[in-house]
């Protein structure tokens, strides 16, 4: 019969047991003081965050190349493709944009989702029209005023006048219309954009 010492030595030397059980150890949690001093785990978190940032940067570069070519740097208007009000707004903008200065992409499309992420918004956020320029994005009332600046007279002058209204008032009015757009104006019968 094996002695207790022999049994314990077999237990610790057995190659079939996990290493931490062979040596009678459990994985140690890092004390909060070590984490505060910049121990091993925070370094891993920093490395993971840096890797995520690099992935985001590569996605941003890819979308810049995808949507803004040297031959076409026109801004892109993102709009709710199933909203009757939004579709009417796009028709209005197209009729008054004789120079074809703006491109249009539905928020629900794959391109729209990518551009939302590029603009720092959730890819599922369809609460606002967004105007995406190469170097900047505009939302809500700022997007509407910026779009007006690309249209024919008298809309650029009207946009200048409306900029004197405080942003919080403009966005309050915008949010009231946007939050009730399906109730008042309805949805498109097809679940896809009818404009493009």
pLDDT per residue as tens digits for the range 78-96: 999 999 999 999 999 999 9
Question: Could you tell me if residue 30 is inside a domain?
Answer: no
Reported as a pLDDT band with limits 50, 70 and 90, residue 65 is: confident
Residue 61 has pLDDT above 70, yes or no: no
CATH number for the domain harbouring residue 79: 3.40.30
Read off the pLDDT of each residue in 59-70 and give the average, rounded to a whole number: 67
Reported as a pLDDT band with limits 50, 70 and 90, residue 63 is: low
Question: Could you tell me if residue 190 is inside a domain?
Answer: no
Edge-to-edge strand ranges of the sheet holding 103-106: 103-106, 76-79, 130-132, 137-139
pLDDT at 67: 87
Question: Could you tell me if residue 196 is inside a domain?
Answer: no
Question: Could you tell me if residue 148 is inside a domain?
Answer: yes
pLDDT at 188: 81
User: How far apart are alpha carbons 71 and 59 in whole angstroms?
Assistant: 21
Question: Could you tell me if residue 192 is inside a domain?
Answer: no
Pairing of strands 76-79, 103-106: parallel
Read off the pLDDT of each residue in 15-23 and give the average, rounded to a whole number: 48
**Tally of domains within the chain:** 1
User: How far apart are alpha carbons 191 and 123 in whole angstroms?
Assistant: 18
User: How far apart are alpha carbons 16 and 165 in whole angstroms?
Assistant: 74
pLDDT at 22: 47
Question: Could you tell me if residue 157 is inside a domain?
Answer: yes
Compute the C-alpha angle 112/114/120, nearest 5°: 105
Compute the C-alpha angle 101/102/105, nearest 5°: 160
Beta strands in 21-86, from DSSP E residues, in sequence order: 76-79
Q: With DSSP H G I counted as helix, E B as strand and the rest as coil, what are the percentages for the chain, rounded to 5?
A: 55, 10, 35
- 32-60 pLDDT per residue, tens: 554 445 554 455 455 555 555 554 544 44
Question: Could you tell me if residue 77 is inside a domain?
Answer: yes
- 106-159 pLDDT per residue, tens: 999 999 999 999 998 999 999 999 999 989 999 999 999 999 999 998 999 999
SS3 123: coil
User: How far apart are alpha carbons 121 and 105 in whole angstroms?
Assistant: 16
pLDDT averaged over every residue in the chain:
77
- For residue 169, the enclosing domain spans 53-185
Question: Could you tell me if residue 25 is inside a domain?
Answer: no
């Amino acid at each position: 019969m094996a002695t207790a010492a022999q049994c314990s030595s077999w237990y610790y030397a057995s190659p079939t047991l996990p290493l931490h059980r062979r040596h009678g150890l459990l994985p140690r949690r890092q004390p909060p003081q070590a984490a505060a001093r910049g121990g091993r785990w925070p370094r891993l978190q920093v490395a993971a965050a840096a890797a995520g940032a690099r992935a985001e940067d590569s996605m941003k570069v890819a979308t810049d190349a995808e949507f803004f070519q040297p031959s076409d740097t026109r801004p892109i208007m993102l709009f709710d493709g199933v909203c009757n009000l939004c579709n009417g707004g796009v028709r209005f903008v197209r009729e008054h944009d004789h120079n074809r200065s703006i491109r249009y992409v539905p928020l629900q499309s794959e391109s729209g989702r990518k551009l939302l992420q590029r603009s720092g918004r959730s890819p599922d956020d369809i609460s606002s029209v967004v105007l995406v320029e190469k170097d900047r994005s505009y939302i809500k009332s700022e997007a509407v005023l910026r779009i007006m600046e690309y249209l024919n007279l008298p809309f650029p002058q009207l946009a200048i006048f409306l900029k004197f209204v405080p942003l919080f008032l403009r966005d309050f009015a915008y949010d009231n219309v946007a939050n009730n757009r399906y109730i008042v104006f309805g949805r498109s019968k097809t679940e896809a954009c009818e404009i493009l």
